[in-house]
Chains A and B, each alone.
Chain A
Amino acid sequence: MTTMTRPTTGTGAVQVSGLTVRHRRTTALDGVDLDFGTGVHGLLGPNGAGKTSLIRVLATVARPTGGRVELFGGDLTAPRTLRDARRRLGYLPQDFGYYPGFTVREFVAYVAWLKEMPADTTPAAVERAVARVGLADRIDAKIRTLSGGMVRRVGIAQAVVNAPQLLLLDEPTAGLDPEQRVEFRSLLRELGEEATVIVSTHLVEDVAAACTDVTLIERGRVAYRGTPQSLAALGRDGDESDGNTTERGYTAALRAHRTHLTGGGQA
């Protein structure tokens, strides 16, 4: 396997070993070992590679079929550690749902309550989270009056309202315009200074711009792990006709992994 393990910073909020997730006949994740510490971690991979399955397991929404998942050093099978982990995580699902009749403030406060934030710190935290995504002037607008990109930002605001130590963002930049994406990346970097941020995306440029670490997932396995720079370095060796270096690195790493899989099978 072409895995290049990069030394993780800190204790590692997320530790995953032998993680397997199966949905009926398909295997979404197949014996994945990963650990994530403080910083922004990009999850890359083609559609259906298993990114969302990994994020959902880490978000405690899906149960792994096999393997071990530890969040903040605790096993998720015990109700108390599970609850404690949930208080400390923020999650933006790929298919972010909301209540159109609620205002931004109401919705984010609702999520704060769901995350069992103390009532006295909630109001300030809500305003801070909404301001962070640049929606301070629309805080009392109903979500149904917002544009698609704004709704996506509400999704990010609800995910960060509890200043999570583990932030899981599944395709957060979908629907954001280029300017918002730039702002969002700087928000990501800011958040990654204190928390473990895991961002799943299919946009390689997001990873290059914001992530300290890239994990490439392909067919349920870790195909590549390293810094965005080392991924770009892979791209420099290959065909230079198309795309930027990180994108070419992504393609090269995928190709290498596929060759490895088929080749490994034959050996």
Chain B
Amino acid sequence: MTALLDRPATDAPPGPSRAPHPFRVELLRGLAPWAGLALFLTLAWALIAKSATWQGSWSETTVALRMAGVMLGGPLALAAGCWQGARERRRRTDELRASTARGPLAQFMTAALPLALWVLAVYAATVGAALLACAPYASPGGLAPTVFLSTGAVLVACTLTGHVVGARLPWRLTAPVLAVAAFGTFGLSMNASGVAGLLGPIPEYAPDFELLAWWHPLLTAGWFLSLASTAVLAHAACRRWSALITLAAAATTALVLSGTGDTMTHRDPRAGQQVCTTTTTPQICVNATRAALLPEVTKALSGLTDRLKGVGNLPARFEDLPRRSHADEAELPTLTPYGWTVVRGKIADHDRYAWEAAMQMVEADCANPQAPGRVEIADRAVVRYLAPTDPQDSMREHRFESARAADDQAELRRLTAEQKAYDHLRTMSTADRRAWLTRYFAPADRCARTESEVPAL
């Protein structure tokens, strides 16, 4: 292994002017830079692979950075710390070190902290890069900076704890076993409810509509750091009893943390609000947590709203609130989780999104989705008119073909009727169609429509 920052000896200034401080040497030589590089590559991979799911939301970015930091950085920091801690035994320098005057804690910190610093620096750089990558697409709000402090603290704690374990159990399998165990434990605690979850490095919450209390990650940080300090002091301090102080601090923090269940998060006030267009009918509203998406959604639905110009009895708006739509509203097709419908501030498939919106207008959430025959035919014609998309056409072709092949006369009749209804709607004059659509949207209760309430086609 060669160190990253290995410079040729000729760079050295002449004369006895320099003797690098051990901290600096540990920082630049041996394991630390390599661990930093490994962490960087791993974090970069995981975050880039999932970038579509967090770019565009500060809350999601916060969660993704915490998750990647703890779940990938934690085991790596433990393993690297363990490797570094076992170094004195591996290199057989423990004998020499034992004969020197420098206190064991100072020796420990000089050997362990540079690695922690690398891990921390790489994580900080990753956070910075991810935030920059998120910024162009995100609506304001939802960022929880203390989460990054907490993750950094967990990483430092992991490095120090790993170092202690490595020094105490200098076997070759210790590091991988520790890393795998951490991977499993962190994963378990993440999905655990109650105290186990609260004491874990990633307490679960719903970043969609909840905000984390700013102080909560700091408690998590304190909990992990005090645990790690206990291990370090018990291992290396001259006055071992001082570990009792940090242990008491850890116990206190754990006690406080386990009582934070309901106060850990509060409802995001923006989640109950939405921003709406004023120029379209129906209005298009987007939840305030993703307000920046309004222009894009409006654009995706522009074909639909154009076709609905001049039509009456329409829903007042497409709503995007965490509640059931009111009678005069249609639900906006879902925009989250990110990465599926919305990718980096853009709606990936406008046609499909418009089709989903048309479906929401026509076939509102009904307990009994089976509408009477004529109603269904009209519904399908309206959806097809409002959002004509290629996939729908090919699917229809396919249904025709399979009905023909199976000689399913009833299906063929229905398909023909649907086609006729659609052709009729499409070929009407603009005024007739507006009038027809106005009558079509008239029934207030869309779930209880009878055949007589739907105008003929």
**Direct contact between A and B judged by beta carbons closer than 8 A:** yes
Binding site for B on A (CB under 8 A): 56, 59-61, 79, 83-84, 86-87, 89, 91, 93, 95-103, 105-106, 109-116, 119, 122-124, 126-128, 139-142, 158
CB pair B99 A123 closer than 8 Å: no
- What does the 1/0 interface line of B3-14 toward A look like (CB < 8 Å)? 100100100100
In the bound complex, residues from chain B placing their C-beta under 8 Å from that of A86 are 99-101
Leading 6 A-B pairs by shortest Cβ distance: A97-B92, A140-B9, A114-B100, A86-B101, A123-B19, A97-B93
Q: Does chain A have a CB within 8 A of B323?
A: no
In the bound complex, residues from chain B placing their C-beta under 8 Å from that of A60 are 98-99
15 contacts between A and B (CB under 8 A): A60-B99, A86-B100, A87-B101, A91-B96, A93-B95, A95-B92, A95-B95, A97-B95, A101-B30, A102-B30, A105-B20, A113-B102, A116-B100, A119-B21, A126-B16
In whole angstroms, how far apart are the Cα atoms of A181 and B190 in the complex? 63
In the bound complex, residues from chain B placing their C-beta under 8 Å from that of A112 are 19
Select B94's contact among A97, A100, A105, A113, beta carbons within 8 Å.
A97
Select A59's contact among B16, B87, B99, beta carbons within 8 Å.
B99
In whole angstroms, how far apart are the Cα atoms of A114 and B17 in the complex? 19
Residues in B80-95 with C-beta less than 8 Å from chain A: 87-88, 91-95
In the bound complex, residues from chain B placing their C-beta under 8 Å from that of A97 are 88, 91-96
Measured CB to CB, the nearest residue on chain B to A84 is B101
In the bound complex, residues from chain A placing their C-beta under 8 Å from that of B95 are 56, 61, 93, 95, 97
In whole angstroms, how far apart are the Cα atoms of A106 and B3 in the complex? 13
Select B29's contact among A83, A99, A111, A140, beta carbons within 8 Å.
A99
Select B20's contact among A91, A100, A106, A115, beta carbons within 8 Å.
A106
Minimum CB–CB distance from B142 to chain A (whole Å) comes to 44
Given known contacts A113-B21, A123-B19, A93 and B96 CB-to-CB distance under 8 angstroms: yes
In whole angstroms, how far apart are the Cα atoms of A142 and B5 in the complex? 13
Q: Which of A79, A99, A128 has the most B CB atoms < 10 Å from its CB?
A: A99
In whole angstroms, how far apart are the Cα atoms of A61 and B96 in the complex? 8
CB pair A123 B91 closer than 8 Å: no
In the bound complex, residues from chain A placing their C-beta under 8 Å from that of B110 are 113
Select B19's contact among A56, A91, A115, A126, beta carbons within 8 Å.
A126
Given known contacts A87-B101, A95-B92, A110 and B25 CB-to-CB distance under 8 angstroms: yes
Given known contacts A86-B99, A95-B92, A106-B29, A101 and B1 CB-to-CB distance under 8 angstroms: yes
Q: Does chain A have a CB within 8 A of B302?
A: no
In the bound complex, residues from chain A placing their C-beta under 8 Å from that of B17 are 123
Given known contacts A106-B25, A141-B9, A61 and B93 CB-to-CB distance under 8 angstroms: no
In whole angstroms, how far apart are the Cα atoms of A105 and B6 in the complex? 14
CB pair B99 A91 closer than 8 Å: yes
CB pair B16 A113 closer than 8 Å: no
In whole angstroms, how far apart are the Cα atoms of A119 and B19 in the complex? 9
In the bound complex, residues from chain B placing their C-beta under 8 Å from that of A128 are 16
Select B100's contact among A115, A119, A122, A126, beta carbons within 8 Å.
A115
In whole angstroms, how far apart are the Cα atoms of A150 and B110 in the complex? 27
In whole angstroms, how far apart are the Cα atoms of A126 and B238 in the complex? 28
What range describes how many residues of B lie at the interface?
20 to 34
CB pair A101 B101 closer than 8 Å: no
Binding site for A on B (CB under 8 A): 1-3, 6, 9, 12, 16-22, 25, 29-30, 87-88, 91-102, 107, 110, 238
In the bound complex, residues from chain A placing their C-beta under 8 Å from that of B2 are 101, 142
CB pair A123 B92 closer than 8 Å: no
In the bound complex, residues from chain B placing their C-beta under 8 Å from that of A101 are 1-3, 29-30
Minimum CB–CB distance from A157 to chain B (whole Å) comes to 13
In the bound complex, residues from chain A placing their C-beta under 8 Å from that of B88 are 97
7 more A-B residue pairs beyond the given contacts A96-B92, A96-B96, A106-B29, with a C-beta to C-beta distance below 8 A: A61-B99, A97-B93, A103-B9, A109-B20, A113-B102, A114-B101, A126-B16
CB pair A114 B9 closer than 8 Å: no
Minimum CB–CB distance from A10 to chain B (whole Å) comes to 23
CB pair B91 A99 closer than 8 Å: yes
In the bound complex, residues from chain A placing their C-beta under 8 Å from that of B30 are 99, 101-102
In whole angstroms, how far apart are the Cα atoms of A50 and B352 in the complex? 85
Minimum CB–CB distance from B90 to chain A (whole Å) comes to 9
Measured CB to CB, the nearest residue on chain A to B93 is A97
In the bound complex, residues from chain B placing their C-beta under 8 Å from that of A111 are 96, 100
In the bound complex, residues from chain B placing their C-beta under 8 Å from that of A116 are 100-102
CB pair A109 B99 closer than 8 Å: no
CB pair B19 A122 closer than 8 Å: yes
Select A98's contact among B20, B91, B94, B99, beta carbons within 8 Å.
B91
In the bound complex, residues from chain A placing their C-beta under 8 Å from that of B19 are 105, 109, 112, 122-123, 126
CB pair B16 A127 closer than 8 Å: yes
In the bound complex, residues from chain B placing their C-beta under 8 Å from that of A141 are 9
Select A61's contact among B12, B87, B98, beta carbons within 8 Å.
B98
Minimum CB–CB distance from A119 to chain B (whole Å) comes to 8
Measured CB to CB, the nearest residue on chain B to A128 is B16
Given known contacts A83-B101, A126-B16, A102 and B25 CB-to-CB distance under 8 angstroms: yes
In whole angstroms, how far apart are the Cα atoms of A142 and B3 in the complex? 10
In whole angstroms, how far apart are the Cα atoms of A56 and B96 in the complex? 10
In whole angstroms, how far apart are the Cα atoms of A83 and B9 in the complex? 35
Minimum CB–CB distance from A21 to chain B (whole Å) comes to 15
In whole angstroms, how far apart are the Cα atoms of A79 and B239 in the complex? 12
Given known contacts A101-B1, A106-B29, A123-B17, A115 and B101 CB-to-CB distance under 8 angstroms: yes
Given known contacts A97-B92, A101-B30, A109 and B22 CB-to-CB distance under 8 angstroms: yes
In whole angstroms, how far apart are the Cα atoms of A99 and B32 in the complex? 13
In whole angstroms, how far apart are the Cα atoms of A43 and B20 in the complex? 36
In the bound complex, residues from chain A placing their C-beta under 8 Å from that of B92 are 93, 95-97
In the bound complex, residues from chain A placing their C-beta under 8 Å from that of B96 are 91, 93, 96-97, 111, 114, 158
In whole angstroms, how far apart are the Cα atoms of A110 and B111 in the complex? 11
In the bound complex, residues from chain B placing their C-beta under 8 Å from that of A98 are 91, 93
Measured CB to CB, the nearest residue on chain B to A123 is B19
Minimum CB–CB distance from A94 to chain B (whole Å) comes to 9
Measured CB to CB, the nearest residue on chain B to A170 is B95
Measured CB to CB, the nearest residue on chain B to A60 is B99
In whole angstroms, how far apart are the Cα atoms of A139 and B20 in the complex? 13
Measured CB to CB, the nearest residue on chain A to B1 is A101
In whole angstroms, how far apart are the Cα atoms of A102 and B91 in the complex? 12
In the bound complex, residues from chain B placing their C-beta under 8 Å from that of A105 are 19-20
Minimum CB–CB distance from B243 to chain A (whole Å) comes to 18
In the bound complex, residues from chain A placing their C-beta under 8 Å from that of B97 are 114
